[in-house]
Amino acid sequence: MIAETIATQFDVPGRLVALEPIGSGNVNDTYRVILRTTFSEEQYILQRINQTVFKDPAAVMSNMKAVTDHAHCRIQAEADEADRIWQLPRVISALNGDDFVIDGQGEYWRALSLIASTTNYEKVSIPEHAAEAGLVLGHFQRIISDFPIDGLEDTLPGFHITPGYLRQYDGIVDSDGAQQRLSASSEARRLHNFVTERRDFVDVLESALERGDLQLRPIHGDPKITNVMIDTFTGKGTSIVDLDTVKPGLIHYDFGDAVRSSCNPAGEETTDLSEVLLDLDLFEALVRGYLKEATGFLTEADKTYLFDSIRLITFELGLRFFADYLAGDIYFKTSYDGQNLNRARVQFSLCESIEARGNKMREILERHC
């Protein structure tokens, strides 16, 4: 297996004893690698970067290196005052000194330090967990908030620009494959109508950016709950992982993404839509956790768009899943037919729940902001 020959090409001592696929990422392939020496065991994370998604893996790695170096310095500087040990993965060099290894097929592989003795979850059921998810995101955004965005490359052009996803969707819908899928499924036609009814809303954040109400800042890009590592012993959040999408963006994309993934107790993959909802207790806990870290860098204008960001990013992810279903599953990995359609149904149901609970969510935001 190719991963095994790659696994020994990084600067980690020991002989390879195990390599196992881990995680549930929709894009990259991830493995845990275990090596042993006479007196120690070393573990690290090995990943193959998906080049269908990330066209310039070297740029992904240089962003990751720059941002983690910056964040590690901040974590160290604040360590004495912190209520916990904060962690963030470190890029492990290849034996030749590069930040990645390229295999014979041109695939890019990277090694990252493992955040040990932590657990990550597919969904949230208790407010304490949602609060930690909010806090971990706020902490990460805060410690990178002074990193200059000019030093970051755009590793995924168009990422989280909802009007752009809608334009792509319109192009896909006209294709023969999409027309066949739409005529074969009344559920797909229902989702198409769902999109049509919300077209006017898709530029809410981008127009605020154009008007100058909001500014670009360094963001995580993918703070979904599976990327939040919880200390197995203390129950506290200790790290955010999956730093591929760190790039200039709106912090609202992150906030919206954290809420949509942490406040729906059914998770992203449920097939029972009746379980999907925006849980207000989880939401309030997440907001409180987030604001503990974020209050210092949020402007009044930032606060105005927090609710819209939740509705928008939930809608956007549903649109991305649905477009991928109609395009024949070319972006998100699937393990069964129709999985991307189902994922879209879940996000659109969640979007409806957010719309129905909008007043209560706004009240919660106003009470805490």
Residues 229-288 close enough to bind ligand GN1 by CB under 6 A = 242, 245, 268
Which DSSP string corresponds to 270-329? -S-GGG----HHHHHHHHHHHHHHHTTT--HHHHHTHHHHHHHHHHHHHHHHHHHHHHTS
Closest CA to 8 of 69, 105, 96, 88: 96
Measuring CA to CA, how many Å separate 308 from each of 39, 143, 196? 54, 25, 18
- The nearest distance, CB 245 to ligand GN1, in angstroms, is 5
Closer residue to ligand GN1 in complex, CB, 87/314:
314
Name the DSSP class of 213.
Answer: S
Residue 48: strand, helix, or coil: strand
Nearer to Mg ion, 246 or 310 (CB): 246
Q: What is the 3-state secondary structure (H, E, C) of 272-288?
A: CHHHCCCCHHHHHHHHH
> Does residue 242 touch Mg ion according to CB under 5 A?
yes
Contact of residue 26 among ligand GN1, Mg ion, none (CB under 5-8 Å per partner type):
ligand GN1
Residue sitting closest to ligand GN1 (CB): 27
317 binds ligand GN1 (CB under 6 A): yes
Q: 25 or 248, CB closer to ligand GN1?
A: 25
Least distance from C-beta 305 to Mg ion, angstroms? 23
- Pick from 99, 107, 132, 222: which binds Mg ion (CB under 5 A)? 222
Report, in Å, the least distance between residue 27 CB and ligand GN1: 3
Q: Which does 317 bind (CB under 5 to 8 A by kind): ligand GN1, Mg ion, none?
A: ligand GN1
Please choose, out of 23-31, 63-71, 181-189, 205-213, the segment that lies near ligand GN1 by the rule CB under 6 A. Answer: 23-31
Nearest-5° Cα angle at 267, 264 to 268: 115
**What's the distance, CA 279 to chain centroid?**
20
Exposure on the CB side of residue 202, measured as CA atoms within 13 A: 21
Q: Where are the beta strands (DSSP E) in the chain?
A: 15-21, 29-36, 41-48, 91-92, 101-102, 108-113, 118-119, 217-219, 228-231, 237-240, 247-249
Stretch that binds Mg ion, among 151-159, 167-175, 216-224, 249-257 (CB under 5 A): 216-224
Of 223 and 318, which CB lies nearer to Mg ion in the complex structure?
223
Instruction: Identify the residue among 3, 7, 25, 293 touching ligand GN1 (CB under 6 A).
Output: 25
| Cα 342 → chain centroid | 19
Min separation Cβ 1 and ligand GN1, Å: 21
Residues that bind Mg ion (CB under 5 A): 222, 242
Residues that bind ligand GN1 (CB under 6 A): 25-27, 53, 222, 224, 242, 245, 268, 317
